[in-house]
Amino acid sequence: MDANLDRKTALKDVLPTAFGYVGIGLAFGIVGKASGLSVLELGLMSLIAYGGSAQFIMVSMMLAHSPILSIVLAAFLVNARMILMSFTTAPYFKADSLLKNIFVGSLLTDESFALAMNKLNVTKGQLSFAWFDTINWFAYFTWFFATIAGALLGNFITNPAKLGVDFALVAMFIGLLYLQLISDKSLAFNLQLSVIVLTLGLVFVGMIFIPTKFLVLVVTLITCLLGMVIKYVYF
């Protein structure tokens, strides 16, 4: 990775991340097809919703016949971290138009955000719209085509659970959690670990008393509150 911020350099920088998009995209296509969705429906979901992990949750909740409002809320909460990421990247595009900022924020992904944060280390704190825009559009279309390929492949895989494909979402979250622990130096490691243990404990207890469709929402709100208390009292 060098200090250039043009589109050609962006393609070179983003290429290694393609494997992540392809792997999860294929898994989503296969799982979605096995869930009864058509190739067209899955493709449109990846183009319109473009939510990554949220799309897995949307499919599972659709299968469970959850209310539309619950599906929308769950998708929002799962991808709410993108709001914070957008706030972090926004200052680097103050000189660009509102439309360009909307494009950057709307197509932002975990991978493109991480790539941008690494890029800052070699550009002396500079980012360009051309570079970031190329990164985002590459991710967008790679995810779309991987979804289509997975959906077509799903015609030959009637039970993805036998291959462990349905574990892709869990594996992705484990990976994201690990990256968060090792990369975020703004929070103490013991604090992050404490909140993770607290979350697991609340989920375990919550499964006994709280309906499944509300479990994630309730545990998220409680953990956020307790996490703030732990941070300011003990750290």
Domain boundaries, the chain: 7-181, 184-234
Over the stretch 21-63, which tens digit does the pLDDT of each residue have? 888 888 889 888 888 899 999 999 999 999 888 898 898 888 8
Position with higher pLDDT, 196 vs 162: 196
- Is the pLDDT reported for residue 169 higher than 60? no
Closest to 53 (Cα-Cα) out of 196, 170, 147: 170
First to last CA, the chain: 36
pLDDT at 186 over 90: no
Of 95, 82, 84, the residue nearest 129 (C-alpha):
95
pLDDT higher at 171 or 95 = 95
CA distance 101 to 17: 23
pLDDT band of 168, cuts 50, 70, 90: low
Q: Name the nearest CA neighbour of 146 among 123, 130, 168, 114.
A: 168
SS3 of residue 63 by DSSP: helix
The angle at the Cα of 168, spanning 62 to 216, to the nearest 5 degrees, equals 50
- What burial class does residue 19 get, using C-beta atoms within 10 Å of its C-beta: 0-12 exposed, 13-18 middle, 19+ buried? exposed
Pair of tokens at residue 153: 């492949």
Phi, psi of 153 (to 5 degrees): -65, -30
For residue 118, CA distances in Å to 2, 24, 183, 187, 234 come to: 11, 22, 11, 18, 31
What is the tens place of the pLDDT at every residue in 99-123?
999 999 999 988 888 888 888 878 8
Which has the higher per-residue pLDDT, 210 or 94? 94
As a whole number of angstroms, the distance between CA 14 and CA 29 comes to 22
The more confident residue out of 164 and 220 is: 220
pLDDT at position 2: 78
Which carries the bigger pLDDT value, residue 71 or residue 173?
Answer: 71
The proportion of the chain whose per-residue pLDDT surpasses 70, expressed as a percent, equals 89
Residue 143 has pLDDT above 90, yes or no: yes
